[in-house]
Structures are given as C-alpha cells and as structure tokens.
Amino acid sequence: MIVVMSKFATESDVKAVTDRLVADGFQVHVSTGVERTVIGVIGEETERVVRLSSMQAVDQVMPVRRPYKLVSREFHPDNSVVRVGNVQFGGERVVVIAGPCAVESREQVMQAADFVHGLGIPVLRGGAYKPRTSPYSFQGMGVEGLKILAEARDRYGLMVVTEAVDRESLHHVQEWADLIQIGARNMQNFELLKAVGQVRKPVLLKRGLSATVDEWLMAAEYIAAHGNTDIILCERGIRTYETKTRNTLDLSVVPVVKQLSHLPVIIDPSHSTGQWNWVTPMARAAVAAGADGLIIEAHPNPAEALSDGPQSLNFPHLAELFESVDRIAQVIGRSV
C-alpha cells in the first residue's frame, strides 16, 4: 500500500502516520519528494492502512499494483541517486565505468587504472572472480585480485567494482570493493541476493541472459527487501535467436525501467555486442536513450586478454568512446 500525504502535511503529520503504522506491525518506507511525501507500507491486514485516509494530513491511500514494492516508482516517485563514494549514479552525470574483464596481473590493472584515471573516468572495473562458461577458462585471481584492485583504487583515487559469485566471495568482495556486482548468471541466485541485501555497500545488478524486466526488478526487490536499497540496474544484453552479436542489447529497457522503477539504469555494451568495434556506437545510443551510466571493458592489449579480449577496447579506442559519449550527453543536458 501507498499513503500519499497532503502537500500541506508537516513533519509531525508524517511522523504521526509512520508511528501508527509501525505500532500496527507494518514496515514503513518514507519517500520525501519535491511536492509531497509518499509512505510505502508493507504488511498484512491492509484495511488498517486504508483507515488512514480519514486523517486530515493524508491525501489518499492506494494499493501498489506491481509485484515488486520497494523498487517500484509507485513506492518512490522520485529518481534514486546511488552513491558509490563520491560518485553518484542517477544524477546529472552519466557515470562511465571502465577496466579489464578480469584481473590478470598487478601490472595490467595499474596500466588500466592509470589510463582510466587520466581520462577522468571515476570507477574501475575488474573481475577477481570469473564465472566462465567453460570450466577450463581462466577463473580469476580471487582475493589476490581484490587486493590489486584495492591498491589501484588507493593510488589513483578510483572507486572499484567487482563481482561476487557466491557467499564466500561476497565476504571478500565487500571488504575490498566499493561496489558489489551481481552478474547475469547469478541474477536469480536468491540466496546470494538475500546475502547481498544484508551488506551495507551499493550493488550493481546485471540482468539475466533470459530474464524479463519484471524478473529483473523482482531480483532487485530481493536485495531491497533484505535491507539494501542502494541498487544500480545494468542491462548487458539478452539471449535471442540472433547470432551476429554475442547477445541482443535491449536499449528499450532504459525508458521502460525508468517508468517502472526509481533505480538508476546503466548499460553494458561490451557483453551485449561481443565485438570491440560495435561497443562505441551502442554506448552512444545508450546515453542518448537516457542511461545513467556505462560499463566498458578495456585492456592494455586485448589480443592477449585472458577473458573477453574480442569485446575489449584498447586504450585509444576507450578515449574515443569517452569523448564521443560526452558529446552525446551534452546534447541531452548531461555530462560524463
């Protein structure tokens, strides 16, 4: 249920309503907008909530139509801004994340961090744990990789995002990283979603390979329902009948999800296309569509990458991408 307060409601009016709801055993989530306050209510015996409509400070009480509550725009009418250190996702700036698919060595990560920092990109990506399709492929450096990422962060003043693949790796990732990624293969790993919901660090949730928008948002709801509402959604392409690209980039989710949810949405054009020379065109299209950020794979020498070399940009191409998406962002009143 949603309790919409009158635009004339005071802070004491809002407190009176929330105190009454909490006393009745409901979970309460207050969203203060520019014009009025909306109180999201979760719990049984909703007729008690309906009775609040008789209060003078309450404008109306409405049911939430979506199966997801906390991540719904009905619950939270205004856009959420997720802060990762001093970086804000969902604000005026289109945030670019860049770096190698996998942490392969200290030298490789430091080269990437130095170049990313020099461009003005604020977030470094790199996989310390790599869930791979083949059991014979490089699986990552684990904790040693996390320590390398943390060293790069401290040296260059970057935020770091890396993936947790299970509860054990989550324990280490939350210690060393600034933003925890849940990858496409784990989007419906509900036990992992519950665990990351109990972590007090922001989460980057990638859309599953065959997930609908509703399934993706319900996965975000799992995280939010367990206490962590700092969620960034990432579209990385879905599996369709088309085989020319690695996946099919569904750019329509940007306006669709922004209508359904208040959470920021970023785009991964690297995994969706699977080919380095298609990454920049789709990155430009993503910014034009209103995406709040991009996550790009870049490597000092893509030909020698241990993971996803064909879709990784070299440093000159990363610089070209950054410059071109900045021009697109300025046209629509944003910046990178």
Range of the domain at 142: 82-331
* pLDDT tens string 104-134: 999 999 999 999 999 999 999 999 997 767 7
CATH number for the domain spanning 56: value is 3.30.70.1140
Instruction: Collapse the DSSP code of 326 into the 3-class scheme (helix H, G, I; strand E, B; otherwise coil) and give the result.
Output: helix
At residue 39 the predicted structure's pLDDT band, cuts being 50, 70 and 90, is confident
Query: Does residue 238 lie in a domain region?
Result: yes
Q: Quote the pLDDT of residue 136.
A: 66
Q: 57 or 235: which carries more pLDDT confidence? A: 235
- Tell me, yes or no, whether 305 and 194 share the same domain: yes
Q: Quote the pLDDT of residue 308.
A: 92
Q: Distance (Å, rounded) from C-alpha 38 to C-alpha 290?
A: 25
- Tell me, yes or no, whether 38 and 161 share the same domain: no
- Tell me, yes or no, whether 53 and 104 share the same domain: no
Query: Does residue 173 lie in a domain region?
Result: yes
* pLDDT tens string 90-102: 999 999 999 999 9
- E strand or H helix at 205, and its extent? strand 203-206
Distances (CA, A) of 80 to 8, 35, 89, 252: 24, 16, 8, 20
Q: Quote the pLDDT of residue 24.
A: 85
Residues in the chain: 336
Query: Does residue 69 lie in a domain region?
Result: no
CATH number for the domain spanning 283: value is 3.20.20.70
Neighbours of 101 (CB within 10 A): 24
Say how many Å lie between the first and final Cα of the chain, rounded.
Answer: 37
Distances (CA, A) of 189 to 7, 72, 126: 41, 21, 21
Could you tell me the two tokens for 149? 């990422």
Q: Distance (Å, rounded) from C-alpha 69 to C-alpha 203?
A: 18
Q: Which residues contact 323 (CB under 8 A, 6 or more apart)?
A: none
Domain count of the fold of the chain:
2
Contact 284, 251 (CB under 8 A): no
* pLDDT tens string 183-231: 999 999 999 999 999 999 999 999 999 999 999 999 999 999 999 999 9
Query: Does residue 76 lie in a domain region?
Result: no
- Tell me, yes or no, whether 18 and 166 share the same domain: no
- Tell me, yes or no, whether 194 and 46 share the same domain: no
- Tell me, yes or no, whether 38 and 174 share the same domain: no
Side-chain-facing half-sphere of 202: CA atoms under 13 Å: 23
* pLDDT tens string 19-33: 988 888 888 888 887
Q: Which residues contact 274 (CB under 8 A, 6 or more apart)?
A: 245, 246, 247, 310, 311
Average pLDDT over residues 322-330: 97
Kindly tell me the burial class for residue 48, based on how many C-beta atoms sit within 10 Å of its own C-beta (0-12, 13-18, 19 or more).
Answer: middle
- Tell me, yes or no, whether 38 and 178 share the same domain: no
Could you tell me the two tokens for 210? 């065959």
**In the predicted model, what is the mean pLDDT of the chain?**
93
- Residue 34, pLDDT above cutoff 90: no
* pLDDT tens string 169-191: 999 999 999 999 999 999 999 99
- Tell me, yes or no, whether 56 and 180 share the same domain: no
Q: Quote the pLDDT of residue 285.
A: 98
Q: Quote the pLDDT of residue 180.
A: 98
Q: Quote the pLDDT of residue 47.
A: 78
Query: Does residue 160 lie in a domain region?
Result: yes
User: How far, rounded to the nearest angstrom, does the alpha carbon of residue 147 sit from its chain's CA centroid?
Assistant: 23
